[in-house]
Amino acid sequence: MAVNTVPVRATHAEQVEDWREAVRTAAGLLVDLGVADTAYVEACVASVEKNGPYIVLTKGVALAHAQVEAGVTSEGIGLLRLAEPVVFGHPANDPVDLVFAFSTSGGDAHLAMIRRFGLALGGDLPARAREAAPDRLEDVLCAVAVDD
């Protein structure tokens, strides 16, 4: 039986100034959960500044993350849904209205979380996140936040 063991936090916002604010808001949800600190939030932004918009995985969806060493204490998942999509600079998948963020303890847990997101994004997670009422967004994350 799948059990939700990863803490989740989600929010809806009408708009943000730019992709940096979107990433900071999504990763900031991990700080709110107590699974990461502000150094991790800034590492998520720095990763995109250094590597470009590689976190924009598919149409309208970004997955913010950084190295574990950058201030993670445990696993967590955050989601920022935007009414007004934001541009990351991705040539095919902009603009972005769903910014997921995750933290893990590293190693196998990091790969497992990426696999979970891959499966969920290949399914109906984006559509469910876009359609959910604001107070039901965290329920949508259960597709990712379960042990196999």
- List the catalytic residues: 65
> HEC string of 32-81?
HHCCECHHHHHHHHHHHHHHCCCCEEECCEEEECCCHHHCECCCEEEEEE
Task: Fill in the amino acid letter for 60.
Answer: G
CA nearest to 30, candidates 59, 70, 87: 70
Residues in the chain, how many? 148
Handedness of CA 136, 8, 1, 125 (dihedral sign): positive
CA atoms within 13 A on the CB side of 11: 16
